[in-house]
Amino acid sequence: MIANKTYNNAVNTLKNIGASHLNITTTTTGDIYQIDLAKNTLFPLMHINPVDVTTGLSQLNYSFQIFIMDLVSKKEDWTEENIQSAADLDNEQEVLSSTLQTAVDIISIFRQSVMQSEIGVDNINYPTYFTEGDFTLTPFTERFDNLLTGWVFTLELQVENDFQTCNIPVKPIPQTGQGE
């Protein structure tokens, strides 16, 4: 019997990856317009935007837009620790580089099943996530009001689902007599 993964399982797995990654400070979910732009959020930020769910014969495909973003700092805000070349006016290139690497890390976790192997999955019936194909990562700069820069990509998580009808919460359908 397959242990089906729910939407909550998929979102919580993504949130746990965000919480575990050392280059992500905050992980949020929901519509892209729900991101806290009041600078109260600690960056870098991973935002999970649900897109849709499609079904196959024995699987569900959860589709999410994943945003990895950080604030770009201006030259006047720099300290000795984050000093840039005098020719650069901000650290946008560095933010794009580090957020791209974080996005690639997330893809790698699912492609290589890193999290699944770390918890010792050796049972063929254990519910796991799969992803395949190529990914397009699209950069954005100054997308929001507070100079956020980063990358967005679509992550499709495939999970097994046996579409069991035994446990559907419905009332029994009354039987009618033959030929009535």
Sequence ranges of the domains in the chain: 7-160
Q: Give the per-residue pLDDT at 122.
A: 55
Structure tokens at 94: 């560095």
DSSP assignment string, 61-104: EEEEEEEEEEEPPBGGG--GGG---TT-SB-HHHHHHHHHHHHH
Instruction: Say which CATH class 7-160 falls into.
Output: alpha beta
Highest mean pLDDT pick, 22-31, 36-45, 124-133, 142-151? 22-31
Phi, psi of 57 (to 5 degrees): -65, -40
Q: pTM for the full model?
A: 0.80
Mean pLDDT of 37-53: 88
Higher-confidence residue of 174 and 137: namely 137
pLDDT score, position 117: 47
At residue 115, the pLDDT reads 58
CB 121 within 8 A of CB 128: yes
Which pLDDT band holds residue 96 (cuts at 50, 70, 90)? very high
Query: Higher model confidence: residue 20 or residue 124?
Result: 20
Give residue 167's pLDDT band: very low, low, confident or very high (50, 70, 90): confident
pLDDT exceeds cutoff 60 at 155: yes
What is the band of 164 on the pLDDT scale with cuts at 50, 70, 90? confident
